[in-house]
Amino acid sequence: MYNFAVGILYVLTSIAVLSRSFSRNTVLRQELLARRQNVVFNESGKTLTGQELIDFLAPHDAAIVALEKIDENVLTALPKLRIISKYGVGLDNVDLVAAKKFGIKVGWKGGVNRRAVAELSISLMIAGLRGVAQSNEDIKRGVWRQYTGRQLADATVGIVGFGHVGQDLAGLLCAFGARVLACDIRDLSAEAAALGVRLCAFDELLDQSDVVSFHVPLTPATANMLDAARIARMRRGAVVVNTARGGVIDEPALAAALKDGWLSAACLDVFAVEPPLGNDLLSVPSFLATSHIGGSAFEAQLAMGRAAIDGLWTAGDPADFIPVWAK
């Protein structure tokens, strides 16, 4: 094949698909096999790590990756690998600096699952504001009481990270009638103005929001960005939602704030360690968890898969995808 994105002649011979959901999707399998027959799919039903991951990728010159950690140690053990294409929107699991070092091209398209993640975020906000987790636990214990919650329409919602998902979410929230605040490290004032969103600093957002929803990558700058001190800034009775990446919230601090009633609810789709076995949050009645399903809508999986397939043939310089914080 000729890679127009980087201007090189390169014959893509064999492809390894790490993503479990891509591997299970008959439509995506057929579309990829229609373009290249020599494809191996991850049929194990699990996310591959360590030597198992390396052994799976080693015979191939191209890979479609999902949440697997592709760091310098892994890439060092894969001298044949020439192309990595991302199934999903975050690139934080791929060491882009190492990829450039080894001459590996990267295919990626942002925002392809934004509506699926935004819709899940809305559902978790409503669940948190209306006490869905608490009511469910009560009924299971034989207790019938009516939890008095709040409407999303009258809430102030703070969006932390105003990229593809954050902007799509803002549009949905405005349709509900919510007041929307947002913060981002980039100047997105034009995008905010178009949506009727007010940009502000993170601490001000925490001070003023009834719901705080996270949509940032996990980086050194965002790790545990919502810690005990910042939770203490939040309004009593506020709701926390995270459909972005585990690790951006200090989970023990969040559990403590739920137990003492400072926060009324928290709803997480992602955790620092997945699955979150033994996590203290799971014992708190006002906590609601989902299993990293933000992009797990059929339509989103098709969009992510097709972007990943295209990325095999349009992969470019990984330096183009290195985020602002890492440069």
Confidence category of residue 237, pLDDT binned at 50, 70, 90: very high
| DSSP-assigned beta bridge partners for residue 16 | 40, 63
20-54 burial: b if 16+ Cβ within 10 Å, else e: bbbbebeebbeebeeebeebbbbeeeebbeeeebb
pTM: 0.87
Nearest to 212 by CA among 295, 129, 119, 147: 129
CA-CA distances (angstroms) from residue 80 to 15, 43, 47, 83, 318? Answer: 11, 22, 22, 9, 17
Q: What is the pLDDT of residues 67-120, one digit of tens each?
A: 899 999 999 999 999 999 999 888 889 999 999 999 999 999 989 999 999 999
Tell me if domain 2-112+297-326 and domain 114-289 are identical in fold.
yes
Q: How many CB atoms lie within 10 A of CB 79?
A: 9
Q: Given this model, what pLDDT does residue 2 score?
A: 41
Give the phi and the psi of residue 54 in degrees, each rounded to 5: -60, -45
DSSP 239: E
Residues with catalytic roles = 245, 274, 292
Rounded (10°) angle between helices 114-129 and 132-140: 60
Q: Within 13 A of 319's CA, how many CA atoms are on the CB side? A: 7
Nearest to 208 by CA among 216, 195, 217, 199: 199
CATH homologous superfamily, domain 114-289 = NAD(P)-binding Rossmann-like Domain (3.40.50.720)
Q: Given this model, what pLDDT does residue 322 score?
A: 73
Q: Given this model, what pLDDT does residue 13 score?
A: 84
Contact 115, 136 (CB under 8 A): no
| pLDDT over 50 at 310, yes or no | yes
CA-CA distances (angstroms) from residue 120 to 5, 70, 114, 268, 276? Answer: 34, 27, 10, 10, 19
| pLDDT over 60 at 325, yes or no | no
Comparing 21 with 326, the larger pLDDT belongs to 21
Q: What is the pLDDT of residues 130-156, one digit of tens each?
A: 999 999 999 999 999 999 999 999 999
Q: Given this model, what pLDDT does residue 4 score?
A: 40
Q: What is the pLDDT of residues 239-283, one digit of tens each?
A: 999 999 999 999 999 999 999 999 999 999 999 999 999 999 999
Mean pLDDT, residues 281-293 taken together: 97
Q: Average pLDDT over the chain, rounded to whole? A: 93
Q: Given this model, what pLDDT does residue 290 score?
A: 98
Distance between alpha carbon 39 and the CA centroid of its chain, in Å?
27
Comparing 220 with 126, the larger pLDDT belongs to 126
Using DSSP's 3-state secondary structure scheme, residue 115 falls into helix
- As a whole-number percent, the residues of the chain with pLDDT over 90 amount to 87
Enter the tokens of residue 320.
């183009």
Going from N- to C-terminal start, the domains of the chain cover 2-112+297-326, 114-289
CA gap 272, 291 in Å, rounded = 12
CATH of domain 2-112+297-326: 3.40.50.720
- Alpha-carbon torsion angle 296, 111, 168, 228, nearest 10: 80
Mean pLDDT, residues 161-182 taken together: 97
Q: What is the pLDDT of residues 8-31, one digit of tens each?
A: 445 678 999 999 999 999 999 999
